[in-house]
Amino acid sequence: MKNPRPQPSRAGHAIHMATHATPLRMTLSSKWAIWASFGLLAASGCLWLIARYALRTQGQFGELPSPLEPLSMKLHGVSLLFMLFFTGSVLHSHIRRAIRSHRNRVSGWLVIAMLVALSGSGEVLYYFASEQARPIWSEVHWITGLLFTLTFVLHPVIGRKSRNGSGKLNSLYK
């Protein structure tokens, strides 16, 4: 059977790669997967914040947790697994090429560093934090989570500006 996609010769391929800019755009399915898992992750984290700090009630023996707290934590844990999986799936196709092209590196590395920090602080909260340390780790985790949300949303905006060469962001994030 004949190969439906002819392969370029090595010399032609090298010339092609050298003369064209490296595309950094993710596939549509990757974008949808990342944004859907991120949306669920952010929404479940915000739901937990609301349930924890706004929906608790006073009972006969003190403060009672909202029934949404455990549900939001379970959703948050599941969505984290998907977010990490899909982030890992774009390591080769998007992140590696972006590093080589020297574009949008500051916000990209910030997204990665914050995701690592959030994963680490989440693990500490789940497995290692004592009852005395839990409130501190919780605050670190949700404050970092809110900052991560902002950084994650701004990352493609900054990338588009650097790709188009418009605005002062281009010179800042090259």
Q: What is the DSSP string of 4-20?
A: SSPPPPHHHHHHHHHHS
| Bridge partner list, 64 | 57
Is 60 exceeded by the pLDDT of residue 8? no
- Contact (CB, 8 A) for 169 and 34: no
Predicted confidence band at 173 (pLDDT cuts at 50, 70, 90)?
very low
pLDDT one-digit tens code per residue, 31-75? 899 999 999 999 999 999 999 999 999 989 989 999 999 999 999
**The pLDDT of residue 136:** 96
Where exactly are the structural domains of the chain?
A: 28-80, 90-174
Once rounded to an integer, what is the mean pLDDT over residues 10-34?
65
**The pLDDT of residue 2:** 58
pLDDT one-digit tens code per residue, 147-171? 999 999 999 898 888 776 654 544 4
**The pLDDT of residue 16:** 44
- Contact (CB, 8 A) for 125 and 137: yes
Q: How far is the C-alpha of 126 from the C-alpha of 131, rounded, in Å?
A: 11
Mean pLDDT of the chain: 83
Residue 78, token pair as written in the block: 């599941």
Closest CA to 86 of 45, 41, 120, 35: 35
**The pLDDT of residue 21:** 54
**The pLDDT of residue 1:** 55
In this structure, the chain runs to a length of 174
**The pLDDT of residue 102:** 81
Predicted confidence band at 15 (pLDDT cuts at 50, 70, 90)?
very low
- Candidate from 19-28, 71-80, 83-92, 131-140 with smallest mean pLDDT: 19-28
